[in-house]
Amino acid sequence: MKKLWILAASLIMIAAFVYAQDYGSLYGTVVDQDGNPLPGVSVTISSAYYPERTVVTTESGLFRFPRLPVARDYKLKFELQGFKTVVRENIIVEYGKDYRLDITMEMAPISEEVTVTAVTPVIDTKKAQVGLRVSKEMLMDLPTARNPWVIMQLAPGVLVDREDVGGNEAGQQSAYYGHGSSGADNTWMIDGANITDTSALGAAPAYVNLAGYEELVINYGVNDVTNPTGGIQLNIVSKRGGNNFAGEFYLDAAQKEWQLKNIPSDLE
C-alpha cells in the first residue's frame, strides 16, 4: 500500500511538471479590407534568439503559434499573393499569456510591404489570474535590493515577515503569505520547473541572482492547475541568448555621507 501511495505521488508531481508553463502563445485572425477572412496567408514569426516558425491561416483566417518562449522582440510577417505584405515588430510574449493579434491586409497591384516598427499592443483576453509581473527592465531599474523577496514586498496583498530596505537584509529569505494561504503552500518555479525546497516547504532551495532572469511572475489569489498548491506561486523565467557573449556588472555602494544616524550624539 505504501508503494502505491509513493507511485501516485510521483505521477502527480510529474504531471504538474509537464503542465507547467514556461511559454506564451500568440493567435489571431487575418481579414481583408471588407472584413472577410483570408485563408492561405503565410504567417512567419521570428526572433533574434529563436528559429523562424511559419504557419498558414485556416479557412476562417485563423493562425496560432502555441508554446512560444518568452521574448520581447518577436516579428510577425504576413504574406499572400495579391496583397501588401504586413510586418509587425517588437511583439512581446510573456510567461503564461495568450495574446491575440488581428491583422487587416490590403490588396496591392504590385508587391508592397508595410512595416510597423513600434511596440505592437497585444492583449491577453483569457487569463483570470491575479498577480504581479516584473519585466527585466523593471528588475534593473527599480530602486530596491536585487532579490525575489524584495519584489514580493511590491505585490499587493502579499505580506512578508522581514522588510528589506535597500538590501539591509543581505538577501535573507523572508516568509511570505497571501490571501490567507500558509507559507508552506508557496511554490518556486524556474522556467516552469518546480524547485521548491523539499526540506523547507514554501522556501527557495538557494539564493538567486536576478541578473540572470528575463522576468519574475508572482501568481496569487486565482490560481490555475499549473500551481500544485493553493499558495503563492513565484515563477522565474531565465534570460534567453543568441551566439553573442555578453555580461553585466552591478555594484552596491553606501558611503557614510549617504547614511543618516538615529543615535543621539551624547550616546555615541
**pLDDT tens-digit profile of 160-189?**
877 776 666 666 777 787 777 777 888 888
88 and 138 housed in the same domain: no
Whether 144 maps to a domain, the answer reads yes
Q: Which helix (H) or strand (E) holds 113?
A: strand 113-116
Confidence of residue 123 (pLDDT cuts 50, 70, 90): low
In angstroms, the CA 152 to CA 234 distance is 9
Per-residue pLDDT at 252 exceeds 70:
no
Asked whether residue 115 falls in the same domain as residue 136, the answer is no
Q: Is residue 12 part of a domain?
A: no
Q: How far apart are CA 191 and CA 178, in angstroms?
A: 22
Query: For residue 37, is it within any domain?
Result: yes
Choice between 24 and 207, residue whose per-residue pLDDT is larger: 24
Please tell me whether residues 139 and 120 are part of one structural domain. Answer: no
Q: Are residues 179 and 227 in the same domain?
A: yes
Residue 97 three-state SS = coil
Any domain includes 10: no
Q: What is the pLDDT of residue 29?
A: 95
Cβ neighbours around 82 below 10 Å, total: 9
- Beta partners for 158? 178
> Is the same domain home to 111 and 177?
no
Print the domain residue range for 66.
Answer: 24-124
When pLDDT is cut at 50, 70 and 90, the band that residue 238 belongs to is confident
Q: Which residues contact 51 (CB under 8 A, 6 or more apart)?
A: none
Output the domain CATH number for residue 75. 2.60.40.1120
Domain membership flag for residue 3: no
Count CB atoms within 10 A of the CB of residue 130. 16
What percent of the chain stands above pLDDT 70? 75
Q: What is the pTM of this model?
A: 0.57
What is the predicted pLDDT for the residue at 140? 75
Q: Which of 11-20, 56-65, 98-107, 160-169 has the lowest mean pLDDT?
A: 11-20
Q: Is position 189 within any domain?
A: yes
Domain total of the chain: 2
- Mean pLDDT in residue range 12-29: 64
Whose cell is 491583422? That residue is 103
Q: Above 70 in pLDDT, residue 77?
A: yes
Helix (H) or strand (E) holding 159: strand 158-160
